[in-house]
Structure 1
Amino acid sequence: MDWIKEIERYNPCNEQEEKDKQLILYCIDKFDDILTRDNKIAHITSSGFIVNKARDKALMIHHNIYNTWAWTGGHADGEEDLLGIAVREAQEETGVKNIQPVTTNIVSLDVLTVLGHVKRGNYVSAHLHLSVAYLLEADERDPLVIKDDENSGVKWIPIDDIDKYSNEPHMQEVYKKIVSKTKAL
Structure 2
Amino acid sequence: MVQSLPISNLSLYDIKAKFDLREAQDESFFPEWYQELPELTESEQQALDQIKRNFLYLNESPLAEVAVKMVVLSPLLSMAGFYQPPFRFSTEASVQITAEDDGQLFRGRIDVLVLQERFWILTVESKEAGFSLKQAIAQALAYMTGNPYPERPVFGLVTNGSHFIFLKLTQREIPQYALSDEFSLMKRSNDLYHVLKILKHLGKSLVF
Give the TM-score category using the shorter length.
0.3 to 0.5
Higher strand proportion (structure 1 or 2): 1
Q: Which has the larger radius of gyration?
A: 2
With the length of structure 1 as denominator, give the TM-score of the two structures.
Answer: 0.33
